[in-house]
Copies of this chain bind each other. A is one copy, B any other.
Amino acid sequence: MSVRIGLDVGGTKILAVAVDGESRVLASERRPTGWGADAVVDGIVAAIAAVAGGAQPDAVGIGVPGQIAPAGGVVRHALNLGIEQLDLAAAVARRTGIRPTVDNDVRAAAVGAAARMPDAGALAYLNLGTGVAAGIVVGGMPWRGARGAAGEIGHVSVDPAGPLCPCGQRGCIEALAGGANVAARWRRPADLPVAAVFDAADAGDPEAEAIRSDVVWGVAAAAQLLVLTADVDVVVLGGGVSHLGERLHAPVRAALRQAASGSTFLTSLDLARRVVAVPDGDPVGAVGAALLAVPAPGRVAAGV
């Protein structure tokens, strides 16, 4: 049986899965992410060993944040992993004997989400985490664009009078809906700042209501521009902030319906119906990394 291993390497945890040829999860492993290049590689190697169960996988794929040079396996500017630059593919190959395919984590999650929705001809995965970015998949394959940056919609401004973004613009999607910017505006300490803002808004705090309204519009605007620009069938919401579930998704759908209410064209697109959530606990990032993995033609000797 063909077994692929996929890893989703995030700022706080590494999630690894082994999948079969039908993308079914055979084994999974979750462990905290270390800080810095050596610790990250150690964690990846241990997670691969845990899900491989002694067998040699046919291919290994790794999704990581940061910029990934095309086909190179070199990770740059993965700031929340403590990595400025690392040839991750080479480092893992030296330790495991198999050269992994390394790709951007959001793009991998988009491929994983598309595998769960084979009827969607084109799909966008909208990652709502510390930052906001999307991955676009057409016919099962990631759409990379000219320089591998397709879907980097976080710094599209959708409100010139909106909150200031660290990028210098006002009203970027990430300034409205990114977890880090929400936390900075809310200021009070909280483990889950976006959830804390939603709680306070439910309790009637006017500042929280304003921030919540911005989060909802930021997500709705992102979904709208992904459908209108890339004509995707479905926008799949994922990432930490999306764990708010219907508390976020219901007002996002309402905002999309409200925006469309005066337009036959927008109403015909039925954007609200196209926004769906990743099923809770579905490891689309790790599954997608496994699907993107290219089987190594020859194996590198382990331990070299």
Q: Does A290 sit within 8 A of B, measured CB to CB? A: no
Q: Does A86 sit within 8 A of B, measured CB to CB? A: no
Taken together as a complex, chains A and B put the C-alpha atoms of A180 and B232 apart, in Å, by 28
Within 8 A of B (CB), among A200-251: 217, 221, 224-226, 228-233
Main secondary structure of the interface of A (DSSP, over half): loop
Q: Does A80 sit within 8 A of B, measured CB to CB? A: no
A158's closest neighbor in chain B, by CB? Answer: B158
Taken together as a complex, chains A and B put the C-alpha atoms of A49 and B159 apart, in Å, by 50
Chain B residue contacts of A226, Cβ below 8 A: 229
Chain B residue contacts of A34, Cβ below 8 A: none
Taken together as a complex, chains A and B put the C-alpha atoms of A147 and B143 apart, in Å, by 16
Closest chain-B Cβ to A136's Cβ sits at a distance in Å of 8
Chain B residue contacts of A160, Cβ below 8 A: 158-159, 161, 217
Chain B residue contacts of A225, Cβ below 8 A: 153, 156, 225, 229
Taken together as a complex, chains A and B put the C-alpha atoms of A119 and B257 apart, in Å, by 41
A161's closest neighbor in chain B, by CB? Answer: B161
Closest chain-B Cβ to A22's Cβ sits at a distance in Å of 24
Q: Does A74 sit within 8 A of B, measured CB to CB? A: no
Q: Is the CB of A144 within 8 A of B229?
A: no
Taken together as a complex, chains A and B put the C-alpha atoms of A111 and B10 apart, in Å, by 40
Q: Does A167 sit within 8 A of B, measured CB to CB? A: yes
Q: Does A151 sit within 8 A of B, measured CB to CB? A: yes
With A221-B157, A263-B169 in contact, do A229 and B230 touch (Cβ < 8 Å)? Answer: yes
Closest chain-B Cβ to A249's Cβ sits at a distance in Å of 20
Q: Is the CB of B167 within 8 A of A265?
A: yes
Chain B residue contacts of A259, Cβ below 8 A: 157, 168-169
Chain B residue contacts of A168, Cβ below 8 A: 259-263, 266
Within 8 A of B (CB), among A122-173: 122, 134, 138, 143-161, 166-169
A-B contact pairs, 17 of them (CB 8 A): A120-B146, A122-B146, A147-B233, A149-B228, A150-B230, A151-B229, A152-B228, A153-B229, A155-B228, A157-B221, A158-B158, A158-B159, A160-B161, A168-B260, A168-B263, A225-B225, A226-B229
8 further A-B contacts with Cβ under 8 Å, apart from A121-B146, A157-B224, A161-B161, are A147-B233, A150-B229, A156-B225, A158-B159, A167-B263, A167-B266, A168-B259, A229-B230
The 5 A-B residue pairs with the shortest CB-CB distance, nearest first, are A168-B262, A145-B231, A167-B263, A150-B231, A122-B146
